[in-house]
Structure 1
C-alpha cells in the first residue's frame, strides 16, 4: 500500500471540502465519493472520484469544482477520473455527513450490518408494527424522530432519495436510500 505524501493529504482535504452539488449541506469527503489524490511532478494531480450511482448527473459539477479548487491551490494540471470499482455505498457516508443530513431534514441511510447486496423486501409502503418488529432500524423522521413513517414515492428530488411522510408529525421528508 502506497502512503500519501503530505501534499496529497493536503489536496485530498481541499478536494474533500467541495460541497456536493445536489446536497450542498455535505462535502464530497462526508458523502464518501472522493477516493484518492495522486500528485506527479509537483503540480500535476489525478483525483479518483466514485459517483453515487453510474450516470450520476452531478459528476460533471463535482469534477469542475475539484479542478477549480486544486488549480487555485497551484496545481497546473488536474485530472478527475471516474472510478466505478469498488462501487460507492451509503456506508461510505461519514458519521458527520449522516448528522448533517438529519439536521438538514433528510433521513440518513441506515447503516447496514455486514457487506454485500442490500436486501429488497416488497410489501406495503406504511411502516406498521409488524414491519418494525422485523426491521430493528426503521426509517425515522428527521423532524420528530418517530419510526411511524410511510413511503410516498420511491424517488424524490434525486434518484438516490425517496419521499416519505411522518405519521406522527405529518411532515414530509426525503430519505437517502441505502445502496
Structure 2
C-alpha cells in the first residue's frame, strides 16, 4: 500500500512528453519557471544584438526593442551594466565590465543615429573611469584586453570623440598585442595536434 502511494506521487511528478511518453522533467521545469524574477538582461549582449541590421534594411536595427532598452536603461553616471544596488545609480560591480557594456551600448546607439545625449554621457563615463583599464586590482572579463581597445578603435572610426584618457593609457595597446600572441600560442599548438 505504501509503495503504491509513493508510486502515484512519483508519477504525478512526471510530465507527459508528447504522444503520451513520460519524462521526469515536469517538477524541475515548474521549479525553474517559478523560481523568482528572471535575471536582468545583459547590457553588453543587448547592445551587440541591437547592432544587427534588419534584413533588407541595413539602415535600421533588426531588433529595435533592444535599442529602446538601451535608451531606457542608462545609469545616472552614464554607464550601462550591472549595478550593486540594482537601482542603476549606485557603484557597479565590475569596473571593466561597466566599461565594456558602456562602450558596446554607445556603439549600438551611434550605429542607428539615436540617443546623442546618452552617447555623450557614456563617453564621459568611459573617460572618467579609463584608469580601470590598466588596474590589476579590477576583475578583468575574458578577452577584455583585446575587445575593449577594438571597440575604442571602432568608435573612433565612427567619428566618435573618445576621451583622451581612454586612448593614452600606458601600455594598453601592448596588452592587446600580448594577449593576442598568448591566445595564438595556445590555439596554434592545439590546432597542429588536431591536424596530425
* TM-score, length basis structure 1: 0.24
More strand by share: 1
Q: Relative contact order, CA 8 A, sep 6+: which one is greater?
A: 1
